[in-house]
Structure 1
Amino acid sequence: MDNASKIELKLGFDRIRQSISDFCSTDYAAKRVEEEQFCTKADEISLRLKLTDEMKVVLMFEENFPTSGYIDAMDFLTPLQESAYHIDVLSLGKLKTLMDTTRRISAFFGSIKDGIYPNLKNLSRPIVSYPEVLRRIENIIDKYGEVKDSASPELHDLRRKLKAAESSLSKKANAVLKAAQDAGYADADAGVSIRDGKYLVPVSSANKRKVPGYVYDTSATGKTSFVEPLEVIELENEIIDLKANEAREIEKILIAFSDFLRPYVPDLLKTAAFVGELDFIMAKARTSMRYMAGMPIISEDGSLRLRKARHPLLEKALAKEGKKMVPISLELSPAKHILLISGPNAGGKSVCLKTAGLLQYMFQWGMLIPTSETSELPVFKKIMISIGDDQNLENDLSTYSSFLMEMKNMLSKADDKTMVLIDEFGSGTEPAAGGAIAEAILAKLDERGVYGIITTHYTNLKLYASGSATGVVNGAMQFDAARIQPLFKLEMGLPGNSFAFEMARKTGLPENIVKDAEARAGEKYVGIERNLRRVARNRRVLDEKIKKVKSTDKELSSLTEEYQKELESLQKERKHILEAARREAEEIIKGAGSRVERTIKEIKESQADKARTKAARSELQNFLGAIEQKKTKDEYIEKKMAVLQKKAVKKGVKAAPEHVVRKNEPLKIGEKARVIASGMVGEVAKVSAKSLTLIIGNISATMSPEDVERISSNEFKEAAKHSSERPRQRYDAAISKRKLDFKPELDVRGERLNDALYIVMHYIDDAIMVGVPSVRIIHGKGTGALREEIQKYLKSVGGVVSFADEDVRHGGSGVTVVNFE
């Protein structure tokens, strides 16, 4: 795409690119960030977005995924293809780190079920780990990056002799010192000094000739001389020879290993590229998390729908001032493909234009964008812009001349696969002529089907966009006329008002001047502006009424649904009670017939025995009374149902999202680090349990791991340029405490995707901790994106046995039921 660097600078994407680069651990990834370009192929864009989105989920939820150990290896692996080159000890340590990181990455994706993170898993599939190579490396160096004594029998023998010689040297030096002390040549509390690897005996300068040897140095006062005894020199020479033989043996081991490794180098180069690519994707994912970005939908019908879009850079800047970003929503389609935004100065027109342009560029570059995941964006072949003042004194171009040159370029290249962004359309010259030229250009862009977002103050352009036959739609930046301040909200379908006279009054311009200006503007202009305000005011009142009606309708629908469920439950209960009562009545009636027959028989048999007849009649009367009592059971059931129908169901309260804390793993050989106290940066050469060795320029420094911090490749380069600057320490935000009162049902409807996932993650943790058998997560149906992401996360949780959509009578796919072990 032409002028890509200019477009990135104007839209602010250069700062997004730098933000991604700052998260890179390797030079390979930083170079990928620098070289990645605006893409015009939908399949490629989709793959880039999916890889980044999957990595974002991995970083948020997968504790076992390795986030450290990403180092550059291309610089020492590439020369190994030539037989004249062999690997050194530091590079061998880096290779071990690389292979260990690759092994952990392969193990992670190997343990993941099919269908989870499919694109990342497919990316890692060709990578092969070589256990034999790693085994040989571990036979040569230990976990601290030092060559082992057991690397070869010869090395083992040399080091044994070296230790014996060094031990003898120490004893010999101490013996000479003891003799000098006994003779009074050295102080009683003096000790052997080691300088540049030489053992020196401190004696008084007056007696320095009495100790056979060479005077190596003297103290600052000149009173003490440091003598290298003759007895020690011979042993030191022997040690020097042993160390030279040791170095030759180590070189021999490394040459042999390099010859063994050479056939694997082409595959190892692919592995190094894979680790660098994963570092690049991880940097994009971390940047997306920083901006709370999500994956939009690639539009198939050419529509551009941004919902709750936020400018990532402006949002961060406002957050530092304690302010909130007002999200924007807009929609373009093949029928209405150009948005003409008007409104007061400083009302947010340019921010709206740059937000849409930046998010479109990020999307086609392969970045997740800070907007609702239901947003849809088309794929453009090119983006063309006219933003800001591009006057050029050298080429004799004024502001308006440069604008006309840009319009000429747009008209020669723009088509229906082009997005144009024009700020302050037509300004910079006489208004009547400027407005006419702008309208003619707008008509031509409209005719070609060009997509665009344009800001303006010209009334003739607003009237053009109001025509039903055009592909241009008006958009207004809302303004609070009562308080005379902008609301920074975009309203589609209405032209905006400049509110120039109102703002003049607010700034304190004399009223007589304002009225004179209104008179000079003419009744027609003032009338148009007044009508625009009236339309906007009526539209706002209408929208508020519609919103209230929708809210009431939603509440009624909810109540209707609740009462419907309650009614169904009551009807089931009533049916169950009636069936039980009917069965009991049938048994009673059957028993009553038998009892009547038995009573008649007894009366007949008693033959007028009054006592027995009376007793039989009394028993029958009691039995019939019991039957009458049973008849009142239906009335009892009806009363019970009436009471139950008055019950109301209360809703729960949503939980608050928590922050994800980035994992902090131990440093590994080859990674970049910064000394916290001094700000000096270097590369890790050796690592042990209690210390590590950092190469800072030409100096090796050993220090505690707690005194250094891991840094990215970009931070390393920047600090190397400005080593005197002290680094700023960054602190993670504290993790908020989990709620103590656990509820078996969670409602995340209305939450953003990221916030909803945070809530669900900690809610599931609490559920497992409490030990409940199952929970219900209410996420609503919508587009299904929230349900899909929640269920994708549930697949990765160990304690979850199963999950499924709720019964259709109780929410269906809008509710997920989770069962635990």
Structure 2
Amino acid sequence: MDAVTRKRLEFDRIVACAATFSLSDMGRDALASTAPMLHRAELLPWLERVRELCNFLHEGEALPFSRLPDTRGIMTRLELRESCLEPQELLDVHDLLDASSKLRTFVYRHRSVYPELYSLVSGLWLEKSLQYEISRIVDEEARIRDTASDGLQVIRHDLREGRGLLRRRMERILKRCREHGWLMEDTVALKHGRLVLGLRVEYKHKLQGYIQDYSQSGQTVFIEPAEVLELNNRLQDLELDERREIERILREVTGRVRAEYENVLHNQELMACFDALYGKACFARETSSVLPALDTGRRLSIRNGYHPWLLWSHRGQQRAVYPLDLELGADEQVLCISGPNAGGKSVAMKTVGLLSCMLQHGFLVPCSESSVFPLFDDIFIGIGDEQSIENDLSTFSSHLVEIRRILHGATAASLVLIDELCSGTDVGEGSAIARAVIERILRIGAKAVVTTHLGELKAYAHERQGVVNGAMDFDNSSLSPTFRFQKGLPGNSFAFAMLRRLGFDDELIAEASSHLGSVGVAMERMLDELREQLLHNRELESGLRKAQQQLAGQREALLKEREEFERGRREAQRSAARDVQKEVEYARKEIRSIVREAKAVPGGRGVEDARRKLERVKREAWQKEAGIAGDIPAAAPDVQAGDLVTIVSTSTTGEVVQVQGDEVVVQCGNFRLTTSPSNLQKTSRKQSRRDERKQAGSAGWSATHGSLDSTRLDLRGMSGDEAIGEVERLIDRMRLQRIGTATIIHGKGTGALRLRVTAFLKEHPAVKGFRLGEWGEGGAGVTVVEL
């Protein structure tokens, strides 16, 4: 893609806009020099990196570094053997390495979220010894630190002391001269690197010293007092020593940098590349750009696409930018767009070219993610209204030269864009040439979008396979373009409507219509009627599609509800079976306890108490069974009264007492249980005795859940919904295990979690009461609940 095409598509403007977001000149230059990528495998990782950076920006994140210096000149200087870097240059190298380290560390921590970015920055060099060495020598203001070397520290200490002594002596001499009235300037001045006093010229012999300079008027003489001469000389020697020591230090550190030249250069290139990606991501965020699908074939589908430059330039203005919906199937090779003047034909054509160009240069594009773009090996554009004055070419001649260039360069993988194809000459001849050009494009195999007003070309596009018409719509009621693209019909130029809109009188319009002829008028009317019918059909199609989607959604929702219902029913059945088993085991335990108590109490009183307790246990068991019986599945017909069976869900053995339709009554010791035949299994009396001995040896409730963990629940760190779910499960365990009290730890904090828990406990029917913990229990950070 040449520079002329980039300029005509306004791609250079897009690059310039994106470059404003880059942090460094080397990033901006890397962005501007990006070459188009022709293969999906090469292009997709770069697009994914821009998308990951976009997601990073949308989450409100900031880059882990704030400064990215341009170190290209520094690296060029390092190629000279005797070169020595200045402190600012060393600081720039340090900041480059620091930014590299921070970026790689940050992306590594989030590598699961930004995998493509990590694949890029994982190659950054992270040896920090050079970075530490530079920071030891140079401070944040690019000044050499006193501690850069022991020698420099001594020299600067002597300099500070000497300058302090010199300042005190000069102030004393200045005071003496002031008292005598010799001074022309009441301050200590600096001339030729020496501290001097400005005396009136007539008093120059009053002060012993060396004349360093005169003022321009000759009225002031600057004298270095003799008594500070030796001290000044000493300071100059120290300053020279300081410069020599600094130069030695800089050469030493420069040698360290030069030794890591390849690594620093590698980091520079990767960081420039990242900076270019950052500029693209920021531009994508500003224009709401996305990553569409990349088609390996020939299909082009733009959904809700916008011209990026119009989006950018119209920001904050009350000017609408209209979306483009355009599709060319794999077998649709050439699109002929027609329609009114200033109706958006050229913008639509350029939008196709610019979005394709941006995408292949690694930019996200402003359109729907459902859009599909093929990859082109080149893009050619002829805009139709350029001419070459230097070559003495007319507008049409220049247009033909452009077409010749395009036809010579295009391939089967190219995109061709031609505005106002062959419109600058006689209509008949122009139509014939335009048809020949399109036929050549078809033979080449390129994808093409052309705009036209030529009626014959519209008819040709309607008949020719591989060529399709498209129109920019026009609102007849308001006599203005709508800027909406309609595929499948040629567009009307609406020249007469434009006459009315621009205020031409009816007489002129009528005369123009008469010149058009009845056939032309009928053709225009037919096109209008076809266009309206097409729009009506598309509205019906859209309504039908929406209705189908709605019905499909409702069907899916009903199926999901049915599945949820079945899942809940099955879970209720399993839960009911578990509850029966637990209640039976608990009842057995109660019975054994009652029997032991009755044996322990002499006389009939213990037996009477035991009888009452047994009646209570029976009554509770019957109440539990009554609530569960309705949830048990249907019965099988092969179980009869008198059969010895095992209840599968509870592993309880008993005798069938009665079969009542879908229910079977089983006598299990002192209890009668109602269940389904499908929940029963016939057994022998020998097996029954083994089961009874096994059950008798059981302690009833398992002690596994009766531990301290069952009476304490820690909710800290949970959300409100998570906490309520855990509290509900705690209460269920307490009820099953007959645990009376438990402690819920929710912490103090803002109190929101405590309020949520207490509100739930107030409404729970199994909760008898609750209170905050005492001083030794955790205070306001816990709630003690009693069932």
Structure 1 length-normalised TM? 0.66
- 2:475 paired residue among 477, 480, 494: 480
Q: Which residue of 2 aligns with 1:542?
A: 537
CA positional deviation for 1:394: 2.8
CA positional deviation for 1:166: 0.4
Q: Give me the whole-angstrom Cα distance separating, in 2, the residues matched to 1:553 and 1:369.
A: 31
SS in 1 for 2:379: strand
- 1:375 paired residue among 371, 374, 380: 371
Contact 1:193–1:202 at 8 Å: present in 2 too?
Answer: yes
Q: Give me the whole-angstrom Cα distance separating, in 2, the residues matched to 1:404 and 1:577.
A: 81
Q: Give me the whole-angstrom Cα distance separating, in 2, the residues matched to 1:583 and 1:139.
A: 72
Q: Is it true that 1:248 corresponds to 2:250 in the alignment?
A: no
Q: 1:414 to 1:223 in 2, by over 3 A?
A: closer
- 2:43 paired residue among 6, 30, 45: 45
Deviations 1:626-663 (Å, cap 9, x if unpaired)? x9xx99x99xxxxxxxxxxxxxxxxxxxxxxxxxxxxx
Deviations 1:755-803 (Å, cap 9, x if unpaired)? xxxxxxxxxxxxx99955579xxxxxxxxxxxxxxxxxxxxxxxxxxxx
SS in 1 for 2:260: helix
State the one-letter code of the partner of 2:69: I
Paired residues for 1:33-432 under 5 Å: 33-61=31-59, 63=61, 65-113=63-111, 115-186=112-183, 190-194=186-190, 197-203=193-199, 207-214=203-210, 227-432=223-428
Structure 2 unmatched ranges of 5 or more: 584-618, 631-715, 724-787
Q: Which residue of 1 aligns with 2:510?
A: 515
Q: Which residue of 2 aligns with 1:450?
A: 446
Q: 1:345 to 1:568 in 2, by over 3 A?
A: same
SS in 1 for 2:314: helix
Report the aligned-residue RMSD.
3.6
Q: Give me the whole-angstrom Cα distance separating, in 2, the residues matched to 1:371 and 1:246.
A: 63
SS in 1 for 2:416: strand
Contact 1:58–1:65 at 8 Å: present in 2 too?
Answer: no
Contact 2:384–2:418 at 8 Å: present in 1 too?
Answer: no
State the one-letter code of the partner of 1:163: R
Q: Is it true that 1:441 corresponds to 2:446 in the alignment?
A: no
SS in 2 for 1:65: coil
Contact 1:83–1:259 at 8 Å: present in 2 too?
Answer: no
Greater displacement, 524-533 / 198-207: 198-207
State the one-letter code of the partner of 1:213: G
CA positional deviation for 1:233: 3.3
Deviations 1:702-722 (Å, cap 9, x if unpaired)? xxxxxxxxxxxxxxxxxxxxx
Q: Give me the whole-angstrom Cα distance separating, in 2, the residues matched to 1:578 and 1:101.
A: 62
Q: Give me the whole-angstrom Cα distance separating, in 2, the residues matched to 1:194 and 1:502.
A: 83
Q: 1:169 to 1:380 in 2, by over 3 A?
A: same
SS in 2 for 1:466: helix
Q: Give me the whole-angstrom Cα distance separating, in 2, the residues matched to 1:513 and 1:478.
A: 25
SS in 2 for 1:487: strand
State the one-letter code of the partner of 1:29: G
CA positional deviation for 1:341: 0.6
Greater displacement, 261-270 / 166-175: 261-270
Contact 2:65–2:102 at 8 Å: present in 1 too?
Answer: no
Greater displacement, 101-110 / 529-538: 101-110
Q: Give me the whole-angstrom Cα distance separating, in 2, the residues matched to 1:535 and 1:80.
A: 72
Contact 1:294–1:369 at 8 Å: present in 2 too?
Answer: yes
Contact 2:378–2:415 at 8 Å: present in 1 too?
Answer: yes
State the one-letter code of the partner of 2:151: E
Deviations 1:129-156 (Å, cap 9, x if unpaired)? 2222123223322333221222222212
CA positional deviation for 1:559: 5.4
CA positional deviation for 1:126: 2.7
Q: 1:19 to 1:510 in 2, by over 3 A?
A: same
Q: 1:124 to 1:560 in 2, by over 3 A?
A: closer
Q: 1:519 to 1:292 in 2, by over 3 A?
A: same
Q: 1:410 to 1:256 in 2, by over 3 A?
A: closer
Q: Which residue of 2 aligns with 1:465?
A: 461
Paired residues for 1:609-688 under 5 Å: none
Deviations 1:453-491 (Å, cap 9, x if unpaired)? 111111111111222x51011111111001100000001
Contact 1:390–1:399 at 8 Å: present in 2 too?
Answer: yes
Q: Give me the whole-angstrom Cα distance separating, in 1, the residues matched to 2:44 and 2:577.
A: 65
SS in 2 for 1:210: coil
Q: Give me the whole-angstrom Cα distance separating, in 2, the residues matched to 1:249 and 1:203.
A: 37
Q: 1:321 to 1:105 in 2, by over 3 A?
A: closer
Q: 1:475 to 1:43 in 2, by over 3 A?
A: same
Deviations 1:216-240 (Å, cap 9, x if unpaired)? 6778998876543222333222211
SS in 1 for 2:327: strand
Q: Give me the whole-angstrom Cα distance separating, in 2, the residues matched to 1:578 and 1:290.
A: 56
Contact 1:217–1:226 at 8 Å: present in 2 too?
Answer: yes
CA positional deviation for 1:386: 1.1
Q: Give me the whole-angstrom Cα distance separating, in 1, the residues matched to 2:446 and 2:128.
A: 57
Deviations 1:383-428 (Å, cap 9, x if unpaired)? 2211042322332321111222222333334332121101111201
SS in 2 for 1:307: strand
CA positional deviation for 1:269: 1.5
State the one-letter code of the partner of 1:457: H
Contact 2:214–2:222 at 8 Å: present in 1 too?
Answer: yes
CA positional deviation for 1:8: 0.9
Contact 2:384–2:421 at 8 Å: present in 1 too?
Answer: no
SS in 2 for 1:173: helix
Number of aligned pairs?
596
Deviations 1:130-185 (Å, cap 9, x if unpaired)? 22212322332233322122222221221111111101110110110122234344
Q: Give me the whole-angstrom Cα distance separating, in 1, the residues matched to 2:38 and 2:223.
A: 76
Deviations 1:689-735 (Å, cap 9, x if unpaired)? xxxxxxxxxxxxxxxxxxxxxxxxxxxxxxxxxxxxxxxxxxxxxxx
Q: Give me the whole-angstrom Cα distance separating, in 2, the residues matched to 1:425 and 1:302.
A: 23
CA positional deviation for 1:273: 1.7
Q: Give me the whole-angstrom Cα distance separating, in 1, the residues matched to 2:410 and 2:81.
A: 55
Contact 2:40–2:296 at 8 Å: present in 1 too?
Answer: no
State the one-letter code of the partner of 2:54: K
SS in 2 for 1:84: coil
Contact 2:384–2:395 at 8 Å: present in 1 too?
Answer: no
Q: Which residue of 2 aligns with 1:648?
A: none
SS in 2 for 1:308: strand
Q: Give me the whole-angstrom Cα distance separating, in 2, the residues matched to 1:201 and 1:149.
A: 31
Greater displacement, 574-583 / 127-136: 574-583
Q: Give me the whole-angstrom Cα distance separating, in 2, the residues matched to 1:125 and 1:511.
A: 73
Q: 1:388 to 1:228 in 2, by over 3 A?
A: farther
CA positional deviation for 1:553: 4.7
Structure 1 unmatched ranges of 5 or more: 588-622, 635-767, 776-821
State the one-letter code of the partner of 1:50: E
Contact 2:384–2:399 at 8 Å: present in 1 too?
Answer: no
CA positional deviation for 1:328: 0.4
Contact 1:348–1:488 at 8 Å: present in 2 too?
Answer: yes
Contact 1:334–1:449 at 8 Å: present in 2 too?
Answer: no
Q: 1:306 to 1:169 in 2, by over 3 A?
A: same
CA positional deviation for 1:86: 2.5
SS in 1 for 2:392: coil
State the one-letter code of the partner of 1:180: C
